Amino acid sequence: MDAKSKNLESSLTVPSVQELSLKNPHEVPQRYVRDDDTQRDELHKLHLACKDWGVFQMVNHGVSSVNNMGNEVKRFFELPLQEKKRWAQKPASLEGYGQAFVTSQEQKLDWNDMIFLKSLPIQNRNLDLWPQNPPQFRETLEKYSEDMREEAISIMSFITLALGLEDTKISESFHEGLYDIRMNCYPPCPEPERVLGIVPHADNSAITLLVDFGDFPGLQFLKDVKWVSVEPIEGAIVANIGHIIEVMTNGIYKAPEHRAVVNKEKERLSIVTFCYPSPSIDIGPVEKLTDEDNGQVYKNMTHAEYFNRFFNRKLDQSFIDSLRL
């Protein structure tokens, strides 16, 4: 375009759209197509959500198993205690029905019962801890975890695009990724202000996909030193960044602190899928995201090293800080 035609009082000559339309073309000429712009805008929004919040909510995602899974989890928690205990955690293990991360007699406790199960890959399943009551529970969980895997792969491919990365190695590694599912029950509490459903924490996953079955805001994220509630939207998936993506993006995206609060009258259920890439890929900052301006902040680790550090972390120290170079 030369300097003259930039004058906003004149317009360049382009074809008449009426004429164009009368020709009944099968395709719209490229100059009219705006898909790319829309996609670029959407990716930019995703980038800002991941960078500024570390969390976003997805509607119209098309995952059909969400409601069925919610019903099965509801039925499970409605069973008598003795029945639920058929699938209780074994000593020194997190998996199964019980309470999370109780390491001492003095420790303050969360107002939360849960069942935690490793779901994918299939060989990681400990089926003796998978409830057989309600009868459809296992089948529904199988379908649900496959759906969550598809969702994770697709979110990760958009996240890598949002970061300007062309390499699909990261998103593809979620095909062989690990998927652990935690189903939470937060019963009504006589003094909700004095307890927490889950203490503040950030997830050690790459991303976490949460479905909320409460009708009051229970999940909160820390943003600029304030707790901000997630308004539950029926059937929506809340996706948050975990420590693995924080490390891989060299801190461009951060794993947000979050917690759950409880209600005096109402119970709340949630289903949380922790998604990890394939154990065969290393966990460290992506080279393209580090340079002189953004020097490497986090260590390079194998998958095994990352989990070793997680399970042997000091509880009085921030886990993510312990991964700094």
260 lies in the binding site for ligand OGA (CB under 6 A): yes
117 lies in the binding site for ligand OGA (CB under 6 A): no
180 lies in the binding site for Ni ion (CB under 5 A): no
Give the three-state DSSP class for 78: helix
Residue 306: closest CA among 323, 287, 286, 325: 323
69 lies in the binding site for ligand OGA (CB under 6 A): no
Which of the choices Ni ion, ligand OGA, none does residue 219 contact, using the CB cut-off of 5 to 8 A by kind? ligand OGA
How far is Cα 185 from Cα 110, in angstroms, rounded to an integer? 11
By beta-carbon proximity to ligand OGA, the closer residue of 276 and 284 is: 276
Which of the choices Ni ion, ligand OGA, none does residue 260 contact, using the CB cut-off of 5 to 8 A by kind? ligand OGA
Residue 178: closest CA among 205, 140, 209, 217: 205
Residue 7 burial class via C-beta count within 10 angstroms: exposed 0-12, middle 13-18, buried 19 and up: exposed
182 lies in the binding site for ligand OGA (CB under 6 A): yes
Site string for ligand OGA, 79-98 (x = CB under 6 A): --------------------
C-beta pairs of 41-46 under 8 Å, 24+ apart in sequence: 43/158, 43/161, 43/162, 44/162, 46/158, 46/159, 46/162
Site string for Ni ion, 197-216 (x = CB under 5 A): ------x-------------
Q: Least distance from C-beta 84 to ligand OGA, angstroms? A: 18
Give the binding site for ligand OGA (CB under 6 A).
Answer: 182, 184, 198, 203, 218-219, 258, 260, 270, 272
| Contact positions vs Ni ion (CB under 5 A) | 203
